[in-house]
Structure 1
Amino acid sequence: MASIVVRPKAGGSSTFQVKWREGGAWQTERFGDVDSAEAFKKLVEAHGGRWPHGWVRGQGFVEPDTDPDDVPLIEWAHRYADRLTGIDERTRKDYKRDIDNHFTPVTHTRADGSVMTYGGIVHTDRSGTRAPATLCTVTQDDVTDWVRAQETTVKDPDDPSRTLWRKASPKSIANRHGLLWCIFQAALDATPQLRATNPCAKTSLPRTDSGTEEEMTFLEHDEYARIVAEMRAFDPAAADLCDWLVGTGMRWGEASALQTRDLNLRAGTVSVQRAWKRQEDNTFALGPPKTKKARRVIALTGAQMDMLRRYVAGRGPEDYVFRGGQGKAWRHSNFYHRKWERALKEATAKGLTKKPRLHDLRHTHVSWLIAANIPLPAIQNRLGHESITTTVDRYGHLVRALDGEITAAVEAAMSTPAGSGLRQVV
């Protein structure tokens, strides 16, 4: 077993020495902080009380050709994705697509024959030389360089009007970084351990709230009415589906998967039990909702109940409530292009200044509830968010219910004479 010995220094600081016996002789390695020493201690123990493969005393892991367990980063990343359990094949395919598109460097040959590399993860050694990234050589600096590259648009030097690499949004960068973190964590959890630390652990990521207003559109009541009026003029059933989306806050995949058996006409509720899921071959199949809490019961208004009674009269338990042609469930792309875009075009021609997506009807539903002073925990349950943090992060900036009380309290405090209420102590 290895141990950590604290070695005080003259200036008051300390170093941390990892000490163990190998072949009857004491072996030691020093670190400037206890976390690094603890990580190395576990690495020694995982290698049976021996120096980890590829580790050079005083230097750490050296370049990959000295470590027999090292592999190219992309190869290890694909192994990680292939071994994941508890996910559907569509999700696995998406992970591998991100690995190939965003972790693998892209090369571009210029007009003069020189080659430029951009976009992916590369390793820069101490001398500044860039080399292909491997599992054991990637450092925290390499990950930081990759994040910065994701934030940058790359133009073709020979044709500035041509974009070679478009910068990613903060949310996309955070999602890709999360996948990369899991890939390296798998190397830490392997037996024997393949890395001493996770190079993604201390990455400073761009703020994910910088694009919130651009990503979400909130419609006022009159703005939504303008859109749905145009739709009702050419397809009343499509307009009813939009009324349902904005009136319940359900996701498209949930609403379009609703079946007659999900309705409780006596209680005035609808139960969300399934949703459409995209498959590996790009088709759709019914599956569970997005999260555990997405399985929920939603209370309905009298008008919504009246609409449902019209739709489900004479239908079987597994018939879809909202249907397109031939009694089949609506597909998002068909509804969006044939109904939503047409209504939006007409409404824009008559003065609508916003360009909402179908999913913005869910956001609009929340904004209306917040305007009516509905508490965020109640909104979380209605939307099926797994955590209240999601609700607060997305919609907390809309909460203005206590503005009057807050300003009144501040005004009262500020108007109190400075010395009133204070007892002089002699």
Structure 2
Amino acid sequence: MASIVERPKKDGTTTYQVKWRQDGEWQSEKFGDPDGAKQFKDLVEAHGGQWPHGWVRGEGFVEETAIPGDMPFETWAARYIDRLTGIEERTREDYRRDLRIHLSLLRHTSAAGREHPATIGNLTQDDISDWVRAEEKGEPDPEKPDAWLRRPADPKSIANRHGLLFCIVQAAIDATPQIRTTNCCKKTRLPRVDDHVEEEMTFLERDEYQRIAAEITDPDARALADWLVGTGMRWGEATALQVRDLNLTSDRPTASIQRAWKKAEKGSSGGAFYLGPPKTKKARRLIALSPVQVDMARRLVASRRPEDFVFRAKMGGEWRHANFYNRKWQPAVKAAVAKGLPKAPRIHDLRHTHVAWLIGANVPLPAIQLRVGHESIQTTVDRYGHLVRGLDDDITAAVEAAMGVPAPRAGLRSVQSA
């Protein structure tokens, strides 16, 4: 029979030693918790007083694998990211950062409760769930109260990283020879994106936007802000707009989104930003312009070359987000807040505000999807569907009419109500 011996340590902790005699000699294994010791004791006794098959002293069950091609998870993931095609280098750098900071936290826990380094072949659904919880909780700094070694991740970030992890594991299933047969990420229960108490997006009423705009004294900066809220363009799209992208002479004037500013990979000799394709295929689009926007555009592009930017900073170059935010937008917002504005929007909230105005005018969501360049209508619904309240009266009136008038019975003449 095996027994458990508690052994207090000088630092105040306790280890739990499982002891038994095997072939006339004492054997022992240490554990840091009583539950682990109890489980191991039961295993020893179930094996007739012998070491459990596959157990290595001090390490636990060492899961031997005959799977060809198995390797440490980080090695496999790095190879997968490096070989991805059809993505921008900035995206590849983002994936590498997620691997280095977040996916590297993955560990494999065996059936006996022992933790092992993660390989692409040994990860399980439980391991993925443990990783999600670790991302949610973060890692407090034990030496500094209210400080973090790693801050808790928000649900959207966890979902994005889990999506990358899913693809990395799937590549092991599709590999030749096959390393895995199932995707351990497939049934992960992720945190709900709408679990935030604080609303990430800020929507401005028309008069609220005007209160901010009135504080922007630079006419070129004011024109850019008006354009952003009036078209719903992303910052990188609007500031990359060139004279040749505008069609101001037809009966239906438009702006064509053909390019956007991209952030270059760290260490790139080409600078911090460069012009590249829009965010997605659907982001390449035509945006209808209002008469006011046409007048503004004509003023801005007068005597300009086709490849010149429509919106230019004071010295004639392209706008940089940091400069616009710090020198134009933030001071205007602070001034408006000081005068009673109850909101402090970001620049990107002008895009959200544009969508809210369209919804308030009962513009259908599919039309909004095309205008703002969402890849999927589901993105539009998920992000802005809660704002669709303008049709509530029409919906309830239709339901009332349908439920209030009885359907005619078969064989009977229907009577028209007075």
Q: Normalising by structure 2, report the TM-score.
A: 0.78
Q: Please give the per-residue CA displacement for 1:325-362, whole angstroms capped at 9, x wherever unaligned.
A: 33111011111111111101101100111111101100
Q: Name the residue aligned to 1:124.
A: 109
Matched, 1:319 2:308: yes
**Measured at CA, do residues 409 and 264 of structure 1 come closer, stay the same or move farther in structure 2, by a change above 3 Å?**
closer
Q: Name the residue aligned to 1:20.
A: none
- Structural mapping, 1:87-102, within 5 Å: 87-102=87-102
Secondary structure at 2:229 match in 1: helix
Letter in 2 for 1:204: R
Q: Counterparts of 1:265 and 1:350 in 2: how far apart (Å)? A: 38
**Maintained 8 Å contact 2:67/2:179:** no
Q: Name the residue aligned to 2:334.
A: 345
**Maintained 8 Å contact 2:282/2:375:** yes
**Measured at CA, do residues 144 and 220 of structure 1 come closer, stay the same or move farther in structure 2, by a change above 3 Å?**
same
Q: Please give the per-residue CA displacement for 1:104-129, whole angstroms capped at 9, x wherever unaligned.
A: 2xxxxxxxxxxxxxxx1110001101
Q: Please give the per-residue CA displacement for 1:194-214, whole angstroms capped at 9, x wherever unaligned.
A: 111111011111112333962
Unmatched 5+ stretches in structure 1: 1-60, 105-119
Q: Name the residue aligned to 1:103.
A: 103
Q: How many Å apart are 1:180 and its aligned residue?
A: 0.4
Q: Name the residue aligned to 1:204.
A: 189
Secondary structure at 2:176 match in 1: coil
- Structural mapping, 1:188-199, within 5 Å: 188-199=173-184
Q: Counterparts of 2:146 and 2:380 in 1: how far apart (Å)? A: 40
- Structural mapping, 1:389-408, within 5 Å: 389-408=378-397
Q: Please give the per-residue CA displacement for 1:109-168, whole angstroms capped at 9, x wherever unaligned.
A: xxxxxxxxxxx1110001101111111111010001111111113323343322222111
Q: Counterparts of 2:224 and 2:353 in 1: how far apart (Å)? A: 15
Q: Given the alignment, which residue of 116, 123, 147 partners 1:138?
A: 123
Letter in 1 for 2:174: D
**Maintained 8 Å contact 1:227/1:343:** yes
Letter in 1 for 2:96: K
Q: Counterparts of 1:222 and 1:399 in 2: how far apart (Å)? A: 20
Q: How many Å apart are 1:375 and its aligned residue?
A: 0.8
Q: How many Å apart are 1:69 and its aligned residue?
A: 2.6
Identity in percent: 65
Q: How many Å apart are 1:301 and its aligned residue?
A: 1.0
**Maintained 8 Å contact 1:218/1:363:** yes
Q: Counterparts of 2:82 and 2:142 in 1: how far apart (Å)? A: 38
**Maintained 8 Å contact 2:68/2:179:** no
Letter in 2 for 1:402: L
Q: Normalising by structure 1, report the TM-score.
A: 0.77
Q: Name the residue aligned to 2:63.
A: 63
Matched, 1:265 2:248: yes
Q: Please give the per-residue CA displacement for 1:25-48, whole angstroms capped at 9, x wherever unaligned.
A: xxxxxxxxxxxxxxxxxxxxxxxx
Q: Counterparts of 1:274 and 1:94 in 2: how far apart (Å)? A: 21
Q: Name the residue aligned to 1:224.
A: 209
Matched, 1:255 2:244: no
Secondary structure at 1:276 match in 2: strand
Larger deviation: 325-334 or 151-160?
151-160
Q: How many Å apart are 1:259 and its aligned residue?
A: 0.8
**Maintained 8 Å contact 1:64/1:134:** no
Q: How many Å apart are 1:238 and its aligned residue?
A: 0.4
Q: Name the residue aligned to 2:152.
A: 167
Secondary structure at 1:292 match in 2: coil
Q: Please give the per-residue CA displacement for 1:298-348, whole angstroms capped at 9, x wherever unaligned.
A: 111111111111111111111111001331110111111111111011011
**Maintained 8 Å contact 1:184/1:198:** yes
- Structural mapping, 1:262-341, within 5 Å: 262-267=245-250, 268-281=253-266, 283-341=272-330
**CA radius of gyration, larger in:** 2
Q: Name the residue aligned to 1:241.
A: 224
Q: Name the residue aligned to 2:78.
A: 78
**Maintained 8 Å contact 1:62/1:137:** no
Aligned residues: 345
Secondary structure at 1:141 match in 2: helix
Unmatched 5+ stretches in structure 2: 1-60, 412-418
Q: Counterparts of 2:314 and 2:197 in 1: how far apart (Å)? A: 36
**Measured at CA, do residues 67 and 190 of structure 1 come closer, stay the same or move farther in structure 2, by a change above 3 Å?**
closer
Letter in 1 for 2:393: G
**Maintained 8 Å contact 2:107/2:116:** yes
**Measured at CA, do residues 236 and 64 of structure 1 come closer, stay the same or move farther in structure 2, by a change above 3 Å?**
farther
Q: Given the alignment, which residue of 345, 361, 383 partners 2:350?
A: 361
**Maintained 8 Å contact 1:64/1:70:** no
**Measured at CA, do residues 328 and 64 of structure 1 come closer, stay the same or move farther in structure 2, by a change above 3 Å?**
farther
Letter in 2 for 1:243: D
Q: Counterparts of 1:138 and 1:415 in 2: how far apart (Å)? A: 58
**Maintained 8 Å contact 2:245/2:255:** yes
**Measured at CA, do residues 329 and 375 of structure 1 come closer, stay the same or move farther in structure 2, by a change above 3 Å?**
same
Q: Please give the per-residue CA displacement for 1:37-66, whole angstroms capped at 9, x wherever unaligned.
A: xxxxxxxxxxxxxxxxxxxxxxxx972565
Q: Name the residue aligned to 2:21.
A: none
